[in-house]
Structure 1
């Protein structure tokens, strides 16, 4: 049975897209057919991590939402360029980086109900085991819908007071939307912090499971989003943490 998981954060800069891309590949390593949809239409970027040159994109999520194509026609099989030895597959539905398309979204919007229809159609068309939604930070109409249609919401935050307050709002909204499952991921945690203590404190504050406390990593920062970290440095401790997070996502 397929699962839809939204990766969300109240503020930008939490490493949400990195987590989404690494979990997608780690799940494909387990033999799963994984879809990734970049629903961050206002500031897309996960295509860079998954090795897709924007100039090569002929159809995007925008085209589907504006009635130009079926959503499956906008899906790109990125498995071969990531790692042809992956036992599963990874498909990406990118959002357009074209300035005109982004301006049109912000000015005219689109029928957000199409996103709900598209998610179901994509899962069926590509026989997906797992569909990951990389959402826009904050809470807007398409983000609320992405959360509402998900089986699980993974909320990313940093150990930062602004993130703590914003995450409280996100958790409250997800509960009101009656999302079946939710967990938190604390990312970019300084080495001076006791990670076990961070986990206990955050779980207590939100009454919600913390699935992972990921450290700040100079190696990950130096990698500079050139690709998927678990493929480039599979023996790195952070790669092992992403793999464990994928196991939690898959269930």
Structure 2
């Protein structure tokens, strides 16, 4: 049975899209059929990491939401991005449903909203037509109707936060809402942690605050900044501490599924 994984942060700028791209790529390299949907419609961007040219996108999630196409028509096969950056054969597949970067499309969403029931139907249709093992949802930061839907239907919720007091406070709200929505499994990921910090102590503190397991801690890295979303970090720097942490997070997700 396919697993829906929502990746969420209370505030923007946490590195959510990069985390999703790297987890999904790791899973695909391990032989899984993986899909990503960019539901951060107000500020889309994950397509950049996979080298998708917005001018060449025939359909996007916006087109599906406005009834212009089927959801699978908006899915781009981005497995080639893994093949281009990886020396071994890619065993699985990776698909991305991007959101439109066009100002008019974004303005329409902000002005009119969209049918969240149709969005949910699209999740299920994409899983069925592409025979996915995992569907990762890149949510919009904060809490709104669309985000609550994504969280509510998820098998696993990953909450990403930085070691910052504003993130800590907002994350408490997210975790509380997720518990009220009865999300089956929840994991935390700490990003942009100063390498000088005691990661074991930081993990212990966060797990004590939220009573949620920490799946991984990603250090603040100049290499990540220099890559500037021009590709998948864990493929460019396979031995990097961030890449090792990403693999550990993917393994924990798989472990949660196996242990069900």
Question: Is 1:223 aligned to residue 227 of structure 2?
Answer: yes
Contact 2:10–2:167 (CA<8 Å) still a contact in 1? yes
Question: Is 1:16 aligned to residue 31 of structure 2?
Answer: no
SS in 2 for 1:5: strand
Contact 2:218–2:241 (CA<8 Å) still a contact in 1? no
Question: Is 1:33 aligned to residue 37 of structure 2?
Answer: no
Contact 1:6–1:152 (CA<8 Å) still a contact in 2? yes
Contact 2:219–2:241 (CA<8 Å) still a contact in 1? no
Q: Following TM superposition, by how much is the alpha carbon of 1:51 offset from its aligned partner in structure 2, in angstroms?
A: 1.5
Q: Following TM superposition, by how much is the alpha carbon of 1:250 offset from its aligned partner in structure 2, in angstroms?
A: 2.4
Q: Following TM superposition, by how much is the alpha carbon of 1:198 offset from its aligned partner in structure 2, in angstroms?
A: 0.4
Report the equivalent of 2:190: 186
Contact 1:158–1:186 (CA<8 Å) still a contact in 2? yes
Query: Partners in 1 of 2:52 and 2:248 — Cα distance?
Result: 26
Query: Partners in 2 of 1:48 and 1:18 — Cα distance?
Result: 10
Alignment of 1:144-183 (within 5 A): 144-183=148-187
Q: Deviations over 1:188-211 (max 9, x none)?
A: 001221100000000000111111
Query: Partners in 1 of 2:13 and 2:184 — Cα distance?
Result: 26
Contact 2:2–2:127 (CA<8 Å) still a contact in 1? yes
Q: Following TM superposition, by how much is the alpha carbon of 1:237 offset from its aligned partner in structure 2, in angstroms?
A: 2.1
The alignment yields a C-alpha RMSD, in angstroms, of: 0.9
Query: TM-score with structure 2 length normalisation?
Result: 0.95
Alignment of 1:1-251 (within 5 A): 1-83=1-83, 85-251=89-255
Contact 2:6–2:138 (CA<8 Å) still a contact in 1? yes
Q: Deviations over 1:25-53 (max 9, x none)?
A: 00001100000000000000000011111
Query: Partners in 1 of 2:13 and 2:121 — Cα distance?
Result: 29
Contact 1:51–1:82 (CA<8 Å) still a contact in 2? no
Unaligned stretches of 5+ residues in structure 1: none
Query: TM-score with structure 1 length normalisation?
Result: 0.98
Moved more, 110-119 or 234-243: 234-243
Structure 1 segments of 4+ aligned residues over 4 angstroms from their partners: none
Contact 2:155–2:183 (CA<8 Å) still a contact in 1? yes
SS in 2 for 1:231: helix
Query: Partners in 2 of 1:230 and 1:183 — Cα distance?
Result: 20
Query: Partners in 1 of 2:237 and 2:22 — Cα distance?
Result: 11
Moved more, 235-244 or 20-29: 235-244
Contact 1:5–1:249 (CA<8 Å) still a contact in 2? no
Query: Partners in 1 of 2:195 and 2:77 — Cα distance?
Result: 37
Query: Partners in 2 of 1:104 and 1:52 — Cα distance?
Result: 23
Q: Following TM superposition, by how much is the alpha carbon of 1:81 offset from its aligned partner in structure 2, in angstroms?
A: 3.1
Query: Partners in 1 of 2:46 and 2:68 — Cα distance?
Result: 22
